[in-house]
Amino acid sequence: MEDLNIRINGRAGRITLTREKALNALTHDMALAVLKALNDWRDDPEVDLVIMDAAGDRAFCAGGDIAAVYHAGRAGNHQVGRDFFRDEYLMNAAIADFPKPVVAFMQGFVMGGGVGLGGHASHRIIGDTTRIAMPESGIGLIPDVGGTWLLGRAPGRIGEYLALTGARMGPGDAIHAGFADTYLPEADWPALIETLEQTGEIHRITGADAPAATLAYRDLSTFGGRNVADIIEAVESAKDTDSLKALQRNSPLSMAAGLFMVRAARGDLRIQESLSREYRFTARATEQTDFLEGVRAQIIDKDRSPKWTAEASTAAVQAVLAPLGTDEMTWENAE
């Protein structure tokens, strides 16, 4: 397909995102194609490892292409969103559990769906331009695509901070937070890719000293509060103006649900548990949350002035994360 270049080069299965003008935003068809490629290569003796990269300098993948989900939801069709998120999550889990090494080269923007693609690879390589974020609370969603799994494993209160504010991480912070593994100047990436293709040997990956991780030195204890209201009060007292602006800007329901989900994910033993919990929210997103209004304000009309209306009480969070019955994510036949 024209949005992806999927092939085998040497010993490597190769997946290259080619929607450069759209910042390599992930469509439903792209997610299905990646999942099929992984399933095709799982037992292929000619493929020793998988390499994922993307065209252009600006983005590895700036997120999911949710315009179709928005328009269908506005028209009362909520199944389009459910199908997209379900298949995307199946792909996320397939990457995380793939029995062969998966190497992701992530330049520029790596956000939302881009984290779902590269963030679960076994070997995650980043460079100076890399900016990683989970900004979903700004569009009325929650950190999904396995984002709560990663955030729940970040040190200290970094997970809560990133989930609620959507803050961006440079290379040093991304490695410190557990969203990447290896820093390597981007000029060195083509040579490494060629070596991996020729040899299929994952030990050929060597990195350089990463830039300093500013998050390692930040006091984020303010994000340890019992709920969002407590966190906002603590952030105000600490005079953390940047964080406060984000907390006042983002969807209250998304932040409340995201906070609960990051903390719940700390008890998960497999990424599938986190993805299933995320799906409970996203399956209801176009019908019961602030998602359509958030997408309208940030992506469709671009007035950057969402009018949040969804209730953010404990009961509302419990309702939007309640089991889906027969629509729950299932994993038995996911391959």
Locate the domains of the chain by residue range: 4-327
Catalytic one among 144, 173, 181, 290? 144
- Which two structure tokens, joined as six digits, stand for 313? 């009480």
Q: What is the 3-state secondary structure (H, E, C) of the chain?
A: CCCEEEEEECCEEEEEECCHHHCCCECHHHHHHHHHHHHHHCCCCCCCEEEEEECCCCEEECCECCHHHHHHHHCCCCHHHHHHHHHHHHHHHHHHCCCCCEEEEECEEEECHHHHHHCCCCEEEECCCCEEECCHHHHCCCCCCCHHHHHHCCCCCHHHHHHHHCCCECHHHHHHHCCCCEECCHHHHHHHHHHHHHHCCHHHCCCCCCCCCHHHHCCCHHHHCCCHHHHHHHHHHCCCHHHHHHHHHCCHHHHHHHHHHHHHHCCCCCHHHHHHHHHHHHCCHHHHCCHHHHHHHHHHCCCCCCCCCCCCCHHHHHHHCCCCHHHCCCCCCCC
d(CA 276, CA 330): 8
Residue 333: what pLDDT? Answer: 54
Catalytic one among 13, 64, 116, 140? 64
**Residue 215: is its pLDDT beyond 60?**
yes
136 catalytic per annotation: yes
Confidence of residue 1 (pLDDT cuts 50, 70, 90): confident
Catalytic one among 48, 136, 197, 278? 136
113 catalytic per annotation: yes
Amino acid of residue 129:
T
State pLDDT tens for residues 50-77.
999 999 999 999 999 999 999 999 999 9
**Residue 116: is its pLDDT beyond 70?**
yes
State pLDDT tens for residues 259-278.
999 999 999 999 999 999 99
Question: Domain 4-327's class?
Answer: alpha beta
Amino acid of residue 252:
P
64 catalytic per annotation: yes
Catalytic one among 73, 81, 108, 113? 113
Residue 334: what pLDDT? Answer: 53
Confidence of residue 243 (pLDDT cuts 50, 70, 90): very high
Tokens 């949710």 found at: 66
pLDDT mean over 138-155: 98
**Residue 18: is its pLDDT beyond 60?**
yes
118 catalytic per annotation: no
